[in-house]
Structure 1
Amino acid sequence: MLNAANLLLRAGAPVLPLSRHVPFIVQKLMIEKAMARLFAQPLEEGEFDVLQDRWLRIEVTDLGLGWSLTRAEKGLRLEKHSPVNVCIRGNWKEFLLLASRQEDPDTLFFRRRLIIEGDTDLGLAIKNLVDSLDSDLMPARLWQLISWLGAAAKEQNGLVAAGARA
């Protein structure tokens, strides 16, 4: 099964950078709708209130994508640019490893595979928030896909690391 995931990751590598050409308004509509659905319960419980009147920037450097995120009255709001309190940046595979829980967030930050710049207290609060989110919030099929691809990405990283040591 991981062989199919590895093939999908390899096939996606040249295609994913094309996503930067998707108009921001389309990205905004899709991402805000997905966040509203996935994070409805944590939003209602106030878990994202740490972003009230503050901005998080997420940059996927190898894809040339970036979004600014804040907690608004009606949920999470995405903007292309905004004043930023904290920025988290890294390559797409690192974000996949984080989302799939295949890699510990502290490890990704400690090894500088994900980088936090700006308000480190806010960055730490967001890291803890992401780490505390329950995977049961996602539709089961989506979680299975993310887990499957994350396991393949971790396997690929292990092979790359082993090759570098040889």
Structure 2
Amino acid sequence: MNPTLNLGLRPLPPRMPGWLAPVHRRAADLVERLPPQPPSALFALALNRWLLPRLPDDARQALQGRVVGLTVRDFGLRVRLRLGPTGFGASGGGDEPALRIEATSEAFWQLARGDADPDRLFFDRRLVMEGDTELGLVLKNTLDAIGPGWLPWR
């Protein structure tokens, strides 16, 4: 892990302690029932701050107006984002995502830190992408080209 991490974020343990699993499951059940707008709005703010300034024009054009849905399996967290003229924003619940990306928190964390190859996670079925495959490739290639340096803790 990068020693410059200064956000209080720590990687999740590889395996959750047995006593914590029921608590985690109940919390995940609750989160699954929540609407995706609040976490989507927070995630959009973070992307506007750290990713948008580094996003190349071709990627902006490909993402413009398209809904991307992210699901963190083990937390039941759903995020739906759309890139508009002023930046990323939360997408309404009725909008069908052009691309859906689903993984565990551990897999997303490994991707964000640059510790895991997205292709390997995909072929190991730890990362699922559904929908517009061309948009998925644009997003993957853009994030690969930018690298994890766009993240505030890198």
Greater helix share, 1 or 2? 1
For residue 125 of structure 2, what is the aligned residue in structure 1?
112
For residue 74 of structure 2, what is the aligned residue in structure 1?
62
Query: Any conservation in 2 of the 1:58–1:66 contact (CA below 8 Å)?
Result: yes
Query: Any conservation in 2 of the 1:67–1:80 contact (CA below 8 Å)?
Result: no
Query: Any conservation in 2 of the 1:42–1:48 contact (CA below 8 Å)?
Result: no
Find the residue that maps to 2:88 and give its secondary structure: strand
Q: Percent identity?
A: 29
- Distance of 1:103 and 1:5 partners within structure 2: 14
Query: Any conservation in 2 of the 1:66–1:80 contact (CA below 8 Å)?
Result: no
- Distance of 1:22 and 1:36 partners within structure 2: 23
Aligned-CA RMSD value: 3.0
For residue 37 of structure 1, what is the aligned residue in structure 2?
49
TM-score, scaled to structure 1 = 0.67
More off after superposition, 77-86 vs 123-132? 77-86
For residue 88 of structure 2, what is the aligned residue in structure 1?
76
- Distance of 2:80 and 2:118 partners within structure 1: 20
Find the residue that maps to 1:84 and give its secondary structure: coil
Find the residue that maps to 2:82 and give its secondary structure: strand
Correspondence 1:1-166 to 2 at 5 A: 10=16, 14=24, 17=28, 24-43=36-55, 45-46=56-57, 47-79=59-91, 81=93, 82-139=95-152, 142-143=153-154
Distance 1:54 1:26, change over 3 A: closer
